[in-house]
Amino acid sequence: MKRLILLILNVVITASLYAQKGLNINDIFEGKVIDKSRITETLIRGEQLEAYHLTAFHSVKFNATEKERNVVEKAFYADMAQNDIKKEKGKENSEMENRGGHLYYAIVEVKPYSPFDRRYICYQCSTETHGAFGITVVCLEGQVSLQDLRRMFKKK
């Protein structure tokens, strides 16, 4: 019985370590789109997130060229299309803002990796100096609502 409990705990913990697994944006987190040396990565899990009703927080932040921004944006849109969570009656599951024909800001609920949590992917893009784009991509898991995330993350 102890082995079964340990196995289940191991699966749940492992799932929360890789919140972006199974998504197109996973290539961004793995450094396949932007070289890892140009990425600032944050991975938080466990007790530090309990106050926010989250089990996993994984983010990458980097400066990108226009071509790289387009690749990241395309991966994000593909995840939205492939992992569509239908709106529950009276509840929103995403918010997005476009500027100049490109994605500027988004929080989108996608299919969860774990049956115990909700999963969200978040995107923010700002124009930096010399034509570069400051991009942040975040994947979150937990028992958090879109309204909670709106309060936690402010648009720049």
**Section 61-85 average pLDDT:** 91
**Mean pLDDT for the chain overall:** 82
pTM of the entire structure? 0.81
pLDDT for residue 90: 61
Q: Nearest-CA neighbor of 19 among 119, 124, 150?
A: 119
pLDDT for residue 34: 93
Model confidence at 7: pLDDT above 50: no
The ranges assigned to domains in the chain are 2-152
**Section 112-124 average pLDDT:** 86
| Tally of residues, the chain | 156
pLDDT for residue 149: 85
Query: How much of the chain exceeds pLDDT 70, in percent?
Result: 80
| Digit-coded pLDDT (tens) for 29-70 | 999 999 999 999 999 988 899 888 899 999 999 999 999 999
Model confidence at 102: pLDDT above 60: yes
122, amino acid identity = C
Sheet holding 94-99, edge to edge: 40-45, 54-64, 133-142, 118-127, 102-110, 94-99
| Bigger pLDDT: 128 vs 18 | 128
